[in-house]
Amino acid sequence: MNQAAITILQQALGEKLSQNAAVCDHHSHDMSRQPPHLPDAVVFAETEDDVVRTVALCHQHGLPVVPFGAGSSMEGHTIPIRGGISLNMTRMNRILAVHPQDFDAVVEAGVTRKQLNEHLRDMGLMFPVDPGADASLGGMASTRASGTTAVRYGTMRENVIALRVVTPSGQIITTGRRVKKSSTGYDLTKIFVGAEGTLGVITQVTVRLQPVPDVIASAICSFATMRGAVETVVETLQSGIPVARIEFLDEVAVDAANAHANLGLKRQPTLFLEFHGSARWVEEQSETVRSLAAENGGADFDWATRTEDRARLWKARHETIYSNQSLRPGCKTYTTDVCVPVSRLPEAILAARADLDASFITGKIIGHVGDGNFHVGYLIKPEIPAELAEAERLAERLYQRTMDMEGTFSGEHGVGISKLKYLRREHGEAVELMKALKSAFDPKGIMNPGKLGHEG
Amino acid sequence: MNQAAITILQQALGEKLSQNAAVCDHHSHDMSRQPPHLPDAVVFAETEDDVVRTVALCHQHGLPVVPFGAGSSMEGHTIPIRGGISLNMTRMNRILAVHPQDFDAVVEAGVTRKQLNEHLRDMGLMFPVDPGADASLGGMASTRASGTTAVRYGTMRENVIALRVVTPSGQIITTGRRVKKSSTGYDLTKIFVGAEGTLGVITQVTVRLQPVPDVIASAICSFATMRGAVETVVETLQSGIPVARIEFLDEVAVDAANAHANLGLKRQPTLFLEFHGSARWVEEQSETVRSLAAENGGADFDWATRTEDRARLWKARHETIYSNQSLRPGCKTYTTDVCVPVSRLPEAILAARADLDASFITGKIIGHVGDGNFHVGYLIKPEIPAELAEAERLAERLYQRTMDMEGTFSGEHGVGISKLKYLRREHGEAVELMKALKSAFDPKGIMNPGKLGHEG
């Protein structure tokens, strides 16, 4: 049935549409542990007009459309679980405008964050949102992504100023103007940020930029206890210091970072910190945090001020997720993503650790703790049913405890597929409004069907 | 017809419902120049249950519901133009919780910003959003309000963490958790922020708080030229200084401030500035801005560091809107509200001034220029048709020019009634999505009908 529609699409798009087996396979999965599913075809959009033609024809024929960026989703967002078209946006990777005086840039949705920062390098500007993966900005917007710098610069929620979107019926709209604030109507930008490709296809993103600080100083501090590390985070935030990054790694995560990047860190709960500002201001911030750390059993700061040392440090932090082989050959990380009010952070992390200590599987805890956001990664061999079941049991405990602490079941990875079942537990009757929104914007249900806008 | 439904409501709510003429008259207008319209009755909600019962019965009987807070709207938001119930929220003014460790507070929608700050005074915390009027937090959320401090702390868009809302069918929902970030579904919080009471009734607001800075220093700086003042703003922002307030007043606005508060300022384009931070950090920020100002023809800073001097200064700034009598006895201010990309600010303000200089009416320009937001206030006697027509002609030019500069026709006052006609000019086809959202959330159209969700 779909094939007739695809033939029509192929006539319209020519070689931009592929049904090659390897291409379809590449678009059948992402970085999550969700089972793959093949699309019927892949469209490589090169222009907004390609997107319009694809979506309009899919709308006409009732064919699913699943936008695909870098494929770095952690929750199955881009898996076309009902087939249809995987709409690859990576060829739409032009940087359309940079406005240095306004601190914004307008880019096509396929531009990645590293590509943008490379482009900005000589302009004294940076795009700060850093989820680790070199994700596309369209994908980051759709996931409401964040990462290590959100504590200072916010998430995609705060950093997307406006979008161009192709609606499910194939119309091009803009969701806002290139201004710092506006009170002219419902906030369509914020509706599409975090919508996970279920309401339309983002084709352009206008993002906020930041001046590159005069001084960037990174430090590592190890602690005698996990509580000491986490209390230092809470007290740092309470003192109003605009720390640029404050990341927590437990002992197992330190092992992973050491093994992966040969960092030689002490096997203790550890904070990775970064300060941005003028020389004097960075000195003042770091002195305050150092004394807070010392009061909580922290060792002296180990500084990395050279660019290459800082790069190595943050690379190690980001790649802890890939560094499992050294911890347990053949294992994979079953990743979670929770966020609690900062005051509940010590209790939340200690409880997660206690669950791990009481289990026959092990795991690591890392977190963007300045936001109350952390990830417990269970190190399992998923082909062993008992291990997978245990990870799922622990994750269920973690998510329920998080929600009981006024927390959220995703700080930054999004809902995707398997966490749809938590939507009603967290949002209650508000889920009905989400469904109403989905039906209003996408009445034929062609945009990334079976994901957000539904329940699991 | 409505009276039958109101009788049923009265049976449910007793003395909380009033049809007293003076009460209805008070709810027929706001601070805008929109013509008044009487509600059929006013309900003074004391509890969320009162709101639920009111909305549910109105839903059943098709009666309009118009939420009413402090009545400080500048654009007619709270005028019940189709009659029905004016739902007064001011008795729901309990501060439910303050979480100092998490920097948030949970309040009922009728709590005003001054009431909240009074409550926080001894806790070292503040709620920074400052639109001038002592508005209710429910109203500020609904208008996506901001004001003098948005350049540093953001608008209500950034400062509302979560809401409780009674939906148009009378259901209670919560739009999010008390966390710094979340990626779990469509951003319902941001849908209700700025919805102008057209999608439901906000009953509780969870807002972000800030630590009171160690040092708050205010300064006044006058400039030889308007361009010099505005260029100083642009350069200050470009240098990345987190100025807490940076407000522009033209000569006529300085006259108004002088007349109203006896400030004795020089009759020149003037910036009011404020710096927040540690003593060292404030010194560093203000030194940088002072040297930028000097290069642009600015005089030396006139400092106000004592609390009472600062209070007098900002009161004068806020009350320029009321200080027309001294400028021209019997006149009123026809206020506008535009926002452009900061790079376009000099051009935008100079063009607005040129329009005034070429007209037979006069006016003043004040602005939250750190956001690119400014207000041209035409000083007219609206009962003189030629003056009103001239103000409308100039406002139309101002709004169109703003949109031509990638700007927005409201930075902070909202759409209300008379600016509905600009929605399509700014948002184009996206207006159709706004209508779809309104229909999906309020299919019977009872919430503040004739406002947002419609076109003018």
Q: Does domain B215-404 have CATH number 3.40.462.40?
A: yes
Q: Which residues of B touch A284 (CB under 8 A)?
A: 278, 280-281
How distant is the Cα of B426 from the closest Cα of chain A, in angstroms? 8
* Residue pLDDT, tens place only, B89-125: 999 999 999 999 999 999 999 999 999 999 999 999 9
Q: Is B262 exposed, middle or buried (0-12, 13-18, 19+ CB in 10 A)?
A: exposed
How far apart CA B248 and CA B229 sit, in angstroms, is 8
How far apart CA B36 and CA B28 sit, in angstroms, is 5
Q: Which of residues 382-441 of B touch A (CB under 8 A)?
A: 403, 406-415, 419, 422-423, 426-434, 436-441
pTM: 0.97
In sequence order, which residues have a C-beta less than 8 Å from that of residue B293 and are 6 or more positions away?
B221, B223, B232, B271, B301
pLDDT band at B383 (very low <50, low <70, confident <90, very high): very high
Q: Which of residues 271-290 of A touch B (CB under 8 A)?
A: 278, 280-281, 284
How far apart CA A455 and CA A421 sit, in angstroms, is 6
The predicted model gives A343-360 an average pLDDT of: 96
DSSP assignment letter at B181: -
Res A263 pLDDT > 90: no
Q: Quote ipTM for the complex.
A: 0.96
Name the 3-class secondary structure at B52: helix
* pLDDT for the residue numbered A1: 60
Contact B42, B35 (CB under 8 A): no
How distant is the Cα of A437 from the closest Cα of chain B, in angstroms? 6
Res B199 pLDDT > 70: yes
The predicted model gives B14-35 an average pLDDT of: 96
How far apart CA B347 and CA B230 sit, in angstroms, is 9
Pick from B175, B182, B198, B419 the residue to mutate for testing the A interface (most A CBs within 10 Å). Answer: B182
How is residue B85 written in tokens?
């119930």
How is residue A410 written in tokens?
């995703």
Check if A365 contacts B (Cβ < 8 Å). Answer: no
Q: Which helix (H) or strand (E) holds A65?
A: strand A65-68
* pLDDT for the residue numbered B318: 77
Residue with tokens 């007290």, as numbered in its chain: A235
Polymer length of chain B: 456
Angle between helices B385-404 and B345-357 (to 10 degrees): 160
Contact A365, A253 (CB under 8 A): yes
Angle between helices A279-295 and A226-238 (to 10 degrees): 140
pLDDT band at A450 (very low <50, low <70, confident <90, very high): very high
Domain A2-88 and domain A215-404, same fold? Reply is no
Contact A262, A308 (CB under 8 A): no
The predicted model gives B156-175 an average pLDDT of: 98
Name the 3-class secondary structure at B340: coil
Q: Is A93 exposed, middle or buried (0-12, 13-18, 19+ CB in 10 A)?
A: middle
* pLDDT for the residue numbered B391: 97
Q: Does domain A95-211 have CATH number 3.20.20.70?
A: no
Q: Which of residues 167-186 of A touch B (CB under 8 A)?
A: 167, 171-186
pLDDT band at B313 (very low <50, low <70, confident <90, very high): confident
Pick from B181, B275, B283, B434 the residue to mutate for testing the A interface (most A CBs within 10 Å). Answer: B181
DSSP A278-309: -HHHHHHHHHHHHHHHHHTTB---EEE-SHHH
* pLDDT for the residue numbered B1: 60
How far apart CA A109 and CA A163 sit, in angstroms, is 9
pLDDT band at A160 (very low <50, low <70, confident <90, very high): very high
Q: For strand A338-339 and strand B17-18, is the pairing parallel, antiparallel, or unpaired?
A: unpaired
Chain A CA closest to residue B211? A240
Contact B87, B66 (CB under 8 A): yes
Name the 3-class secondary structure at A326: coil
Of B65-74, B165-174, B276-285, the one with minimum mean pLDDT is B276-285
Res B325 pLDDT > 70: no
In this structure, what are the phi and psi dihedrals at residue A18, rounded to the nearest 5 degrees? -130, 140
Q: Does domain A2-88 have CATH number 3.30.310.220?
A: no
* Residue pLDDT, tens place only, A369-399: 999 999 999 999 999 999 999 999 999 999 9
* pLDDT for the residue numbered A311: 83
By C-alpha distance, which of A30, A77, A57, A67 is closest to A201? A67
Q: Which residues of A touch B289 (CB under 8 A)?
A: none
Contact B402, B408 (CB under 8 A): yes
Tell if the CB–CB gap between A181 and B340 is shorter than 8 Å: no
Domain positions in chain A are 2-88, 95-211, 215-404
